[in-house]
Structure 1
Amino acid sequence: MSHRVAAIDCGTNSFRLLVAEPGADGGLVELTRELRIVRLGQGVDATGELHPEALARTFTAAEDYADQLRAYGVPPERRRLVATSAARDARNTAAFVAGMEARLGVRPEVITGAEEARLSFVGALSGVRVADAGPVLVMDIGGGSTELVRGEASGAIAQAVSLDIGSVRLTERFGLVGPWAAESRAAATAYVDGLLAPVGDLLEGVVTWIGVAGTVTTVSALVQGLAAYDRARVHGSTVGAAELARLLDRLAGLTAAQIRGLGAMEPGRADVITAGTLIADRIARRVTRSMLVSESDILDGVALDLLAGG
């Protein structure tokens, strides 16, 4: 029987795959990690439905992943597919579920925000060393939602929230086409601040702040000025509040085409990265700690769950 597992995460903007097997230390040995920008959440905030074009893009990527799962010999019972914000919010999720099950041999789980937060926390802690005692905050900025999870280095979770602010949702809701107009930026900032205000206690007194997922890793690459994305230089890097603020000001003054031309930028993220950076910036102003960037995230949490289940 194969001990390999496949974790698949279908978010609002990206669709990702991790194939791994158990390591000698009880952790993961990564065999492949893939990402496709499919923008499943295209228009969901406005229409409440998954767009046919978005479904078609996602199904095409799923067919590619299915080929890889066969090549790596991962049986259907060792696969788990989680879907997050866009699939939670859409009325026509049935078409998505049927299409993914037909292609990947596993039924998608449209997980709750609480489960998404737990998996992100477990995954983030698996990839970085947290030496300091005291509260740990894991932040996962997605396309449709942002998960904030507070807990301890032991893995115990004290508090978790899922907020309806994400890079795609914010961009679409406020028409954030660069260069940003001052009034659009002010309105988006006020909206983010309004959603963060009730969870201020979760952000106070944090000793270690870990950021995960594509917005955060891209921000790190841009702050470092990398000519091309380099996972080894991104993982374990730190980004300070002042660096975030400077990057936000820079990106807000650029068009999507100009952002797309930046060395470390993934083309499919160029039109929403500024909104994602705004979310990170508003959180940084409350946490008052530099952000530790982790390449380990919800995918790693899902894979670890699969391995723990035998």
Structure 2
Amino acid sequence: MPETGAPAGAPRSQRFGSGGQRARGGASDGHGASGRDAPLYGALDLGTNNCRLLIARPARDGFRVVDSFSRIVRLGEGLSRTGRLDDAAMERAYEALVLCGERVAKKGIESSRLMAVATQACRQADNGVAFIERVRMDTGLRLRIIDPVEEARLSVEGCLNLFDDTAEAVLVVDVGGGSTELSWLKRGGAGFELDGWMSAPIGVVTLAERHPEPAGAGPAVIEAWYEAMVEDMGVALSAAPIDPALREVFAAGRAHLVGTSGAITSLAGIHLRLRRYQRNLVDGLWMSRGDCENAARRLIQLGPEGRAAESCIGPDRADLVLAGAAIMEAVQRAWPSERVRVADRGLREGLLLQKMREDRRPRRRRRRR
């Protein structure tokens, strides 16, 4: 069942800043220490499909990226069938984490400035905690399994400066490998206020495993297969704990979506017909609902081999990209909006901004007796 509500420790009236200037490689977060002498921070995200690391230095308008790493590990492969992390999947993730640990050590990042988290696959798997403990014992990396509410909040935090300041509401959609986090925000007096959230237990890996692509099928069968994925996600979205009247704000064009994941960045790359992925062209891009649908149709027409040959997709994601497109289409049907903003940022950026903000707060001096 989907998890819904307002983030723990963050009441429904929680306010988020209304944006600011975009930081190079990161999100905006006001003022802070900057320059080459500023300490390095790291954010490590072990997801159901990817293992990603971001190393950055605080800057006046957010942070500057120093190094990054991303590898598809498919940690959640087969999890929906067995309830456990597969041995081969754990080895793939372990190897990627070792590389992350080496980068962190090479950069000399202090342990207090490394935020390492794991999400849906480790939350769901019976042996998820045991795998995290093995990683700690062998590599020294201390990953913390976060719950869906924190995952959703961090994704919002990382995308704040992509919100349209004139919008009345925003829906942030974070499509993962094993779940999809959705956060609805409404404009308040000092920015955007969280109106509600949900975590649907459907991501690109789980949806693709539930609906294998029919091999060698004709257009009608392929279209029915894709539509089945859209409907599957649509059922999950029907549990959204949001006042239906808010849909009218979206339908009237007074709100917009923000997509933060490979699902939407892949659609953006196809839409722009990029020969190679270029983050500077994708991050912050505005796409219409029609643009998203046309990109999805092109992916369907390309077929598995054609998708694998696309530089913005590649063979590792060729069998997952349409599941991501189907999830986005289901969201756009449920929450009709002609505008969606593409975010090549999210949880890792949220982790960095949160920690940098905490470290900037002056510590209270102890009173002498």
Give TM class, smaller chain.
over 0.9
SS at match of 2:53: strand
Amino acid at match of 2:324: G
SS at match of 1:269: coil
Does the CA-based 8 Å contact 1:240-1:291 persist in structure 2? yes
* From 164, 178, 181, the counterpart of 1:147: 181
Residue 288 (str. 1) matches residue 324 (str. 2): no
User: What stretches of structure 1 move > 6 A for 4+ residues in a row?
Assistant: none
Q: Structure 2 matches for 1:162-241, cutoff 5 A?
A: 162-177=199-214, 181-199=222-240, 201=243, 204=247, 205-206=249-250, 207-241=255-289
Q: Structure 2 matches for 1:4-153, cutoff 5 A?
A: 4-25=40-61, 27-126=62-161, 128=162, 130-152=164-186
Bigger drift between 40-49 and 173-182 goes to 173-182
Amino acid at match of 2:225: S
Residue 263 (str. 1) matches residue 311 (str. 2): yes
> Given the superposition, is the C-alpha separation of residues 119 and 177 from structure 1 closer, same or farther in structure 2, using an over 3 Å criterion?
farther
Amino acid at match of 2:346: D
Amino acid at match of 1:35: S
Does the CA-based 8 Å contact 1:122-1:155 persist in structure 2? no
Does the CA-based 8 Å contact 1:46-1:173 persist in structure 2? no
Alpha-carbon shift at residue 255 of structure 1 (Å): 3.3
SS at match of 2:48: coil
SS at match of 1:198: coil
Q: Distance in 1 between matches of 2:184 and 2:284?
A: 19
Bigger drift between 203-212 and 190-199 goes to 203-212
Q: Distance in 2 between matches of 1:239 and 1:194?
A: 25
Q: Distance in 1 between matches of 2:50 and 2:66?
A: 20
Does the CA-based 8 Å contact 2:257-2:337 persist in structure 1? no
Question: What is the TM-score of this pair, normalised by structure 1?
Answer: 0.92
Alignment: residue pair count: 308
Amino acid at match of 2:170: V
Does the CA-based 8 Å contact 2:155-2:174 persist in structure 1? yes
SS at match of 2:239: helix
Does the CA-based 8 Å contact 2:122-2:128 persist in structure 1? yes
In the alignment, what sits opposite 2:362? none
Alpha-carbon shift at residue 155 of structure 1 (Å): 5.0
Alpha-carbon shift at residue 42 of structure 1 (Å): 0.5
Alpha-carbon shift at residue 266 of structure 1 (Å): 3.5
Q: Distance in 1 between matches of 2:164 and 2:154?
A: 17
Does the CA-based 8 Å contact 2:267-2:296 persist in structure 1? no
Alpha-carbon shift at residue 239 of structure 1 (Å): 1.9
- 1:4-42 CA-partner distances (Å, limit 9, x unpaired): 2111111111110011121123x1221122210000110
SS at match of 1:190: helix
Q: Quick check: which has more Rg, 1 or 2?
A: 2
Does the CA-based 8 Å contact 2:56-2:65 persist in structure 1? yes
Bigger drift between 113-122 and 134-143 goes to 134-143
- 1:201-259 CA-partner distances (Å, limit 9, x unpaired): 47722413211121211111111110100001001112221122222223234432221
Does the CA-based 8 Å contact 2:230-2:329 persist in structure 1? no
Does the CA-based 8 Å contact 2:172-2:257 persist in structure 1? yes
Bigger drift between 85-94 and 147-156 goes to 147-156
Q: Distance in 1 between matches of 2:316 and 2:193?
A: 35
CA RMSD of aligned residues (A): 2.1
Q: Distance in 2 between matches of 1:294 and 1:187?
A: 26
Alpha-carbon shift at residue 262 of structure 1 (Å): 1.2
Q: Distance in 1 between matches of 2:158 and 2:351?
A: 8
Residue 308 (str. 1) matches residue 357 (str. 2): yes
Alpha-carbon shift at residue 182 of structure 1 (Å): 4.4
Bigger drift between 57-66 and 73-82 goes to 73-82
